[in-house]
Structure 1
Amino acid sequence: MKTRLFWVRHGPTHAKGLVGWADLPADLSDTARIARLDAHLPRQALLVSSDLSRAAATADTLAADRTRLPHDPALRELHFGDWDLKAPEDIKDQSRYQAFWDHPGEVRPPSGETWPELAARVDAATDALIATHPGADLVIVAHLGVILTQLQRALALTATEAFSHSIAPLSVTELHHTPTGWHVSGINHVP
């Protein structure tokens, strides 16, 4: 049975620093773009989002004909801990910051989480959605890191390879889960 997952990145925040668990609003003023996104997504899909307001509000704009599932905190962005909302140049330990990006998974942001911890959290949430709603179309509004973990899983990429993919705000990355595994139908599609 095929389950289609339409991963939507929330609307832009225009923040200049790292944005993890900080609850910033999304800019949803581009109503024409949101209308194109809405038209691109399946009408009868189930809709779920991260509990952070930028994802939840984006999902709310897409909810008209879709069944809304409760917000899921397991779909939150990577927890940057003490680095949250800081511009890269304002992070005091530059060697640690650089190592975080150069060697994903080996370095933890202070008071945050590692890439493998994020991936495990999102994998479990995704697996639960698929198990609970087999064969459904799922629109999942989440964050850059969250979507990259699922692209990493579907394509069997390293974290570094996953980081090389661009996922624009209000874009769709479509993944299919079947009994034979994962299939990628589209990455970073901007309707």
Structure 2
Amino acid sequence: MRRFAGISTTWRCSTFWGLAPDTEAPMPAPLQQQIQATWRHIEARTGTPFNHDFWRLNQPRRATWSACRAVISAGRIETGADERMVAAIQRAYYLEARNPSDADVLVALAQETGLDPERFRGMLQDPDTERQLQRHLALKDKLGVQGFPALLLQHGDDLLALSAGYDTASGLIPRIRKRIREP
């Protein structure tokens, strides 16, 4: 078990998914195939649906920082809008075959979640949004998070790593209970 003392709780885990820098380069075919296989595995294991048309209808790019900035921007505009943006990005990507690497998709999602699209577009490009993303990335590195999704539990002043990668509630709950009881 790794413990991380003295870590501020002001960061948001939601910006940690994917973590691929900005690029306009198409995603390499082997990576596309790997991600498609992961989607099929998750579907088979959990019953979670995916819209596999994404791979046919879009030019996939391995670029997730724009989606991270979208979550940060939404939260800067309105309390709670960051959580709505996470849900909108996931719905758009996994179910609607829309590419969250595209700024126009993110702006449309912001409008769909009730945010002013032009204010949101400006916030996406705001230097403070980029600084906040870089702080999140630095914290990820400080915590040693390498696999996603990652689940960390703050207990007092300690941050406890619970899982890296998918896990079920039945697998997580006993670990959470055990770790909370540990001195």
Assess same fold via TM > 0.5: no
The bucket for the TM-score relative to the shorter chain is under 0.3
Higher RCO by CA contacts (8 Å cutoff, separation 6 or greater): 1
Which has a greater percent of helix? 2
